[in-house]
Amino acid sequence: MTETVAAPEEAPEPVRRAGVGDVLLDVQDLRTYFHVMDGTVKAVDGVSFSIRKGGRLALVGESGCGKSVTALSIMRLIETPPGEFAGGKILFEGTDLLTMDDRHIRKVRGGEIAMIFQEPMTSLNPVMTVGDQIMEAILIHQGVNKKGAQEIALKALQDVGVADPKRRLKQYPHELSGGMRQRIMIAMALSCNPKLIIADEATTALDVTIQRQILELIKAIQERTGAALLLITHDLGVVAETVDDVAVMYAGRVVETGTVEEVLLHPRMPYTRGLLESIPSQGKRGQRLSAIKGTVPNPFRLPPGCKFEPRCPFGWETCVESEPELITIGRDRSARCWLNDKRFAGRLASYSAPPATEPR
């Protein structure tokens, strides 16, 4: 057996892969607020991005930046109240998911859009067998009888590389390892042939060798089925290896978009750059890591201007006073930073001091 050793990857893919077509999901200026006792948390406040059919996009950001709430909004899994969709649209194949009635959204959720969650233990029902859980969605969405559903479930388990799928169908989640549970989650997500797969930190809780297995699996399946992928993660390494396009989020906003190469090699927003620079590596041994100073702002007391300004090594008065829009830099390339505004074009040159030093 030689499959264990993956063949070295071939020549780099073109920026746009063949077969990637029209816009499948178009999130426009989404605002998801939560009304809680202490006030209103604007968890998502003006998020826009789109994914083409068969495309692969990552939403990147640190905890609390609103990336998971964005995903749950797409699935309409936000409880209202306390949640509220305060504005924007989520167009899926041209239809706004936010105004869709409950009966129709149930068809989309799990059928057309499937989600793989972070915690494979808590997102599986501990008192239902694996088989019943996979078949539940198939029975709802595909109009087959129990026997047909079981066949589809077996096939789905085979597709995600589960050995001895017949036995697995009768097992309970606690009998399975973390990697196996995540495979079950993926099998459930795939069983209804979704057009869009949302993977919310799907590999974060896994060990690195198991993460590798699951990443390779998600990539292979995505390529085989042609489904679009929305990957939600905080790991820039996973981003670089898995997707074509990136949207970086900070404090409920998208702050930078572009292809993986552009964003990770030539960040145009100081936050993205700070994230990249703070990753420890061999070359930085013996040096201080450049850290982003301070912490993520309190959602109840967001600064009036650019939300990143208090931590930004480049900020000036304009940034304190007014918040930039997502400034278009090129095709599908934008950044929410005044440095990209041509009126401030000379600005960057005047900063000679080393950026991003942390407080002691």
The minimum distance between CB 231 and another protein, in angstroms, equals: 12
Figure out which of the listed residues 119, 136, 332, 341 binds another protein, where binding follows CB under 8 A. 341
Among residues 152, 151, 154, 150, which one has the least CA distance to residue 164? 154
Q: Is 220 in the site for another protein (CB under 8 A)?
A: no
DSSP 268: -
User: Which range, of 23-31, 41-49, 190-198, 230-238, touches another protein by CB under 8 A?
Assistant: 230-238
Question: What CA dihedral angle connects 172, 173, 175 and 180, to 10 degrees?
Answer: 130
Q: Is 264 in the site for another protein (CB under 8 A)?
A: yes
Among residues 203, 250, 304, 322, which one has the least CA distance to residue 64? 250
Q: Is 55 helix (H, G, I), strand (E, B) or coil?
A: coil
> What single-letter amino acid sits at 86?
A
User: Which range, of 47-55, 71-79, 119-127, 175-183, touches another protein by CB under 8 A?
Assistant: 175-183
Q: Is 254 in the site for another protein (CB under 8 A)?
A: no
User: Which range, of 84-92, 97-105, 144-152, 292-300, touches another protein by CB under 8 A?
Assistant: 292-300
Nearest-angstrom CA–CA distance, 25 and 75: 12
φ/ψ bin of 256: left (φ > 0), alpha (ψ from -120 to 50), beta (otherwise): beta
The minimum distance between CB 238 and another protein, in angstroms, equals: 5
Q: Is 99 in the site for another protein (CB under 8 A)?
A: no
Figure out which of the listed residues 16, 174, 279, 300 binds another protein, where binding follows CB under 8 A. 279
Which of the residues 299 through 328 are near another protein (CB under 8 A)?
304-305, 314, 317-318, 321-325, 327-328
Q: Is 164 in the site for another protein (CB under 8 A)?
A: no
Which of the residues 177 through 206 are near another protein (CB under 8 A)?
177, 179-180
Nearest-angstrom CA–CA distance, 321 and 145: 61
Nearest-angstrom CA–CA distance, 41 and 181: 33
Which of the residues 39 through 68 are near another protein (CB under 8 A)?
62-63
Figure out which of the listed residues 44, 197, 215, 227 binds another protein, where binding follows CB under 8 A. 215
Nearest-angstrom CA–CA distance, 73 and 65: 14
Judging by DSSP bridges, how do beta strands 196-200 and 228-233 pair with one another? Answer: parallel
Q: Which is nearer to another protein, 149 or 185 (CB)?
A: 185
